[in-house]
Amino acid sequence: MSEADLTMGTHVPGALEQSPFAIPSKKLVMWLFIASDAITFAALLFAYGFLRNATPDWPRPFNFSPSIINVMLMTFVLISSSLTMLIGVRMAQAGNKSGAFRWIFITAAAGILFALLHLREWLGLIAEGVRLFQNPWGAGTFGAAFFSITGLHLTHVVGGVVAMVVVGLRYRRGRYNADDIEILGLYWHFVDMVWMFVVPLVYLLNVKQ
């Protein structure tokens, strides 16, 4: 970098400072997004906990069949999709482009399956009379809390599936590299991680005994 460049303020990437934490900037941005999004979900879960604790007639509507069985299936699909994503990332890092592409699309398919199971769960509850501010069993805010938390998570899943299709295709065409696949993987594992908190707090603490 010449003295003239410094005087003119020309930016030469990497010439002046090292990447923070020795990772690419886009990966750091994804980590920061994950931290902020984790706080968003935590705020929703705290608000749900607040409501549940302060409401004596909080409903416990989830029967083992079909609700908990459906949730078990959804959990299995989502955790398994994390493993398939991990295999895709490893293949991308090893330079196996077609293998990485295949595993990313298997992961996307698992995401779609999860979303369909989620919609089935929602439709079942709606058929039982659960609405945003009323339900047949007790506190009306149950629906608002349930649909807000699971709805935000479902939005993340759908967003992740769209991202996988876009990034996967661009990776195959050579526009993206293994780093981009790894960053996509971080997002997908985060979506999986959020579900690990949603299941016990929203579903399992409200099972019909």
Partner 1 sequence: MQSAEKPGSVLKSDVIIYLCILAIAGLQIVLAYQKVELAQQLFRMLGLAIIQAGLAIMFFMHLRAEKRNLLLFLAIGTIFVLGMMNMIWSDSFRLLHMRPFPS
Kindly list the residues in this chain that would bind partner 1 in the complex (CB under 8 A).
21-23, 28, 31, 35, 38-39, 42-43, 46-47, 49-51, 53-57, 68, 72, 75-76, 79-80, 82-83, 86-87, 90, 93-94, 139, 185-186, 189-190, 192-193, 196-197, 199-201, 204-205, 207, 209
Q: Please check whether residue 171 is in contact with residue 97, taking contact to mean a CB–CB distance below 8 angstroms.
A: yes
Question: Alpha carbon of 172 to those of 21, 61, 106, 109, 189: distances in Å?
Answer: 29, 46, 15, 17, 22
3-state secondary structure (DSSP) of residue 17: coil
Q: CB of residue 60 vs partner 1: minimum separation in angstroms?
A: 10
* Closer of 147 and 197 to partner 1 (Cβ): 197
- Locate 43 and state its tokens: 């705020």
The distance of closest approach from Cβ of residue 75 to partner 1 in the complex, given in angstroms and rounded to an integer, is 5
Q: Which is nearer to partner 1, 70 or 169 (CB)?
A: 70
Going by C-alpha positions, the residue among 125, 143, 128, 137 that lies closest to residue 51 is 143
**Residue 55 vs 132, nearer CB to partner 1:** 55
How near is the Cβ of 184 to partner 1 at its closest, in Å? 12
Residue 53 has a CB neighbour count (10 Å cut-off) of 9
**165/193 with CB nearer partner 1:** 193
Distance from C-alpha of 141 to C-alpha of 55, rounded to nearest angstrom: 9
- Whichever of 94 and 166 has its CB closer to partner 1, that residue is 94
First vs last Cα of the chain: how many Å apart?
70
Q: Which is nearer to partner 1, 103 or 171 (CB)?
A: 103
CB of 178 to partner 1, least distance (A): 10
**Residue 20 CB, nearest distance to partner 1 (Å)?**
8
- Closest listed residue to residue 123, CA positions, set 112, 131, 133, 111: 131
Amino acid at 124: G
CB 15, min distance to partner 1, A: 22
